[in-house]
Amino acid sequence: MQYKIYLSPPHMSGCEMKYVQEAFDSNWVAPAGPNIDAFEEELCRYTGSKHALAVSSGTAALHLALLSLGIGPGDIVLCQSLTFVATANPIMYVGATPVFIDSEPVTWNMCPNALEDAILHYINLGKRPKAVIVLHLYGMPAMLDEILYLCKKYEIPLIEDAAEALGSEYNGRKVGTFGDIGILSFNGNKIITTSGGGAMLSGNAQYIEKARFLAMQAREPVRHYEHREVGYNYRMSNICAGIGRGQLEVIDERVKQRRGNFEFYFQQLKTLREINFQKEPIGVFSNRWLTAMTISRSVASRVNVNTILNELNNYGIESRPVWKPMHLQSIYASQKYFGNNISGTLYEQGICLPSGTAMHEADLRYICGIILNKLQR
């Protein structure tokens, strides 16, 4: 339907056309060109990563990350359950086996205790996991100290899915730069967009070089077209990279606006005992890509997530449930899962509110008024 207020629409800065026009004027409209090189350099400067590779989507970046780590058929990959399906699907692309890990109730991200249980289970079977994929859900950094400790202790590479978390920080450092490889998304609903696109970050140049090679159809560096392994058409276009450059110029402002949205919701709704928001622990800085909250089961007899979703929808406002965990998805129901179904509870009780950076205070006040009216009846 056509909403009056969308969940997370694109927000152009006005800076993008300068770079897009340069691409047209120079005829660099292919998946190569100066905007791509510059965008990768600018991503490195902003995130603090040593290396970056701009590609066609965050999903493509994650697929390339797994391939760069040499993961393939028969390998075990431990993956956060409470996430969008694009975090899990690339594990299947490479023929590996996804094993899903529950959330902890504070940040809603991967539970370190459940992670260690899974690691020990597979080590005892003689099948040490080949990677851990942790997500920074809705921009909220995961418990990285604990997760990094476990990955180092058991010698397992860490991939950070920071698709939703560009601009978020953990102890003053940008997320996506803690693991062996980090993933970003520039989909149309993200905090900045290239219309469609993503990036792979790493401090390891070999991972980036391998991914770059595979993203360009695995063409060997010879005059003719020589291919010795399967490659992919995953490079970002020079035009899309130009959009990204213009968007990146306003990333700090966009983060400030998203956090301002959260603060407004929190101040307006914090008196309702039925509502709890995704928490930001000490030392953590979330970009608050989406404002996410839960509605207590204690009021389920008269109001629940679907009640609020339907009410907002009736007023032309787009809102969403939180991600349905992977271990509850029919496609992955047969895969092993470690935890106490905290992620399932968050799914049952969680809702994401409109969080676009072009929203006005009047929009936020309007949304809060609908929620207050429904919960206070």
Question: Catalytic site residues?
Answer: 190
pLDDT at 3: 87
Is the residue at 9 inside a domain? no
Same-domain pairing of 160 and 210? yes
CB 240 within 8 A of CB 193: no
Is the residue at 124 inside a domain? yes
Helices (H), the chain: 16-26, 34-47, 58-68, 89-93, 112-124, 144-153, 205-215, 238-248, 251-269, 305-314, 342-349, 361-375
Task: State the 10-residue block means of pLDDT for the chain, 377 residues long.
Answer: 92 94 87 91 98 98 98 98 98 98 98 98 98 98 98 98 98 98 97 96 98 94 93 95 97 98 97 92 97 87 89 96 98 97 97 97 97 86
CB 182 within 8 A of CB 207: no
Is the residue at 289 inside a domain? yes
Is the residue at 137 inside a domain? yes
DSSP per residue over 272-285, as a string? -TTEEEPP--TTEE
pLDDT at 327: 98
Rg, C-alpha atoms of the chain: 21
CB 39 within 8 A of CB 245: yes
Give the residue among 356, 355, 333, 358 at the shortest CA–CA distance from 344. Answer: 333
> For residue 149, which amino acid is it?
Y
Is the residue at 3 inside a domain? no
CB 281 within 8 A of CB 136: no
Assign residue 84 the CATH number of its domain.
3.40.640.10
pLDDT at 300: 67
Same-domain pairing of 182 and 306? no
Assign residue 266 the CATH number of its domain.
3.90.1150.10
> For residue 33, which amino acid is it?
G
Same-domain pairing of 123 and 195? yes
**Calpha distance 377→374 (Å, rounded):** 6
Range(s) of the domain holding residue 101: 16-248
Single residue among 228, 248, 268 that ends a domain in this structure: 248
Same-domain pairing of 165 and 303? no
Same-domain pairing of 231 and 265? no
pLDDT at 301: 67
**Calpha distance 275→164 (Å, rounded):** 23
Same-domain pairing of 163 and 237? yes
**Calpha distance 329→340 (Å, rounded):** 16
Is the residue at 24 inside a domain? yes
Same-domain pairing of 116 and 138? yes
**Calpha distance 219→72 (Å, rounded):** 21
Q: What are phi and psi of 45, to 5 degrees?
A: -65, -40
Same-domain pairing of 111 and 232? yes
Same-domain pairing of 75 and 189? yes
**Calpha distance 256→245 (Å, rounded):** 19
> For residue 285, which amino acid is it?
F
**Calpha distance 181→144 (Å, rounded):** 14
pLDDT at 297: 81
Same-domain pairing of 224 and 197? yes
Single residue among 248, 267, 298 that ends a domain in this structure: 248
Same-domain pairing of 213 and 301? no
Is the residue at 4 inside a domain? no
Is the residue at 316 inside a domain? yes
Predicted model pTM: 0.96
Same-domain pairing of 80 and 171? yes
The count of domains in the chain is 2
Helix axes 34-47 and 238-248, enclosed angle (nearest 10): 30
**Calpha distance 129→131 (Å, rounded):** 6
Single residue among 248, 274, 294 that ends a domain in this structure: 248
